[in-house]
Amino acid sequence: MKNPLEAGGLLDEDGLSRRKLLQLGGLGAGALALPGVLAACGGGGSTTGGSTGGSGEAAESPELAKLLDNIESQQVIIANYGGVTEETRKKVFWEPFEARTGVQVVSADEGSLEVPMLMGEIPTKWDAVHGSVSGSYAAQLHGKKKLPTTPKIAWEDLVMPAKFQKYVWQSFFIAYVPSMVKGTYSGAQPETWADFFDTKKFPGKRGWPAEYFTDGVLQACLMADGVPADQVYPLDYERATAKLASIFPDLVIYTEYAQAQSFLTSKTVAMCYAPNGLWKELETKGVGMETMWEATPILQTNGFNTLPEAPNEDAVMALAAFCNQPKLQAEFARITNYGPPTKEAFEDLSPEEVEKLPNAPHRTNVLPDNPVYLAETQGKIEEEVAKVFAGA
């Protein structure tokens, strides 16, 4: 398949404003993944091997063992967005890494600083930051300092555009997809984006993100208005914003993800649009959920980027390689319901677990991957969404 990053010379174009860059942070750039992404584009066999997590242990590869055994730094400092995702990382990746190497992983809720960190605009005290492929793109084009690449065993089998493979690690796929509490409707059930927007056929308020959470919202609006998933790009802003405006009186706006969950459990809204990991978290707390996977899930690739002039570069590079172990990826997916980035990770998951993942190989109803387009149009997307909010 053709890499969309190299079409039309997009990688050489400038034009990402400061406002655009500030919105390219983790869980916030809207990069999308290809239909049946793991079935169609996966790499060959992994060279890493695993030592902890999942359903058992596997021998480390010589390459991984060499990296882990030759760390001289005493710590590695990670910036993230906290919450359940980071708690799961600690359990699945950080603590096993500490046990294996004796190197402490220091984790801080500083993910909002992703863009100035990657751009080299603030003094470096962190080694890596949770972000998106669009953040990598912006830093590659406009960063004041060169963005470090990770060792080959940390990226060679990752399913993502080649331009980002060497930079993004501990990567995973998020799906922006609507969900509801089981039993919300009797009889016919909502299944599509059109159903989500149809408050006459399916009464009730809808949970919707604040104007600065623009991830996939225009894509959802276009699909709700009848645009086929494979024809969403380039975005028709007028059509998308008109659709959003048409439902605005029925929206209840959340300003943080915890509110999205509480809106559903309190029955403030009947359905809600947000990352699928939130619905998995509610299920683990005993809430029966109906996630609308038949609606086209809007996928985004997240992960860490190593920062320019990382103070503990040997440790962070070893950690990047350590995280690229299929058994660990599978365990992270099992807990969070976020999709793993390699084909091998699926082999450690049951069919029932795979069925619920956003990038399950059988899924064909996802949008094309075009992170460069989304990065370059982020400012326009923000502007158009803001107009709808201002008008309302």
* CATH number of the structural domain 11-32+40-174+300-359: 3.40.190.10
Angle at CA 174, nearest 5°, toward 194 and 323?
170
The verdict on whether omega for the bond into residue 96 sits within 30 degrees of 0, i.e. cis, is no
In 214-367, where does DSSP find H-type helix? 217-224, 237-247, 257-265, 276-284, 313-323, 326-336, 343-346, 351-355
Q: What is the pLDDT along the chain (392 residues), one digit of tens a residue?
A: 222 223 222 233 333 333 333 333 333 333 333 223 333 233 333 333 334 433 345 568 999 999 999 999 999 999 887 778 889 999 999 999 999 999 999 988 776 667 677 777 777 788 998 877 767 777 877 788 888 999 999 988 888 777 778 888 999 998 999 999 999 999 999 999 999 999 999 999 999 999 988 888 999 999 999 999 989 999 999 999 999 999 999 999 999 888 999 999 999 999 999 999 899 999 989 999 999 998 989 988 888 999 988 999 999 999 999 999 999 999 999 999 999 999 899 999 999 999 889 888 777 656 655 667 876 787 788 899 999 999 98
In 42-192, where does DSSP find H-type helix? 62-69, 83-89, 95-101, 114-118, 133-142, 162-165
Q: Is residue 334 within 8 Å of 353, Cβ to Cβ? A: yes
Tell me, what's the pLDDT at 121?
A: 78
Nearest Cα to Cα of residue 11 among 300, 373, 304: 373
Residue 107 CA to residue 82 CA, distance in Å, equals 9
Nearest Cα to Cα of residue 265 among 358, 356, 184, 178: 184
Q: Is residue 153 within 8 Å of 323, Cβ to Cβ? A: no
Give CATH 3.40.190.10 domain extents, the chain: 11-32+40-174+300-359, 175-299+377-391
Tell me, what's the pLDDT at 2?
A: 29
Tell me, what's the pLDDT at 44?
A: 31
Residue 282 CA to residue 336 CA, distance in Å, equals 11
Q: Which fold has domain 175-299+377-391?
A: D-Maltodextrin-Binding Protein; domain 2 (3.40.190)
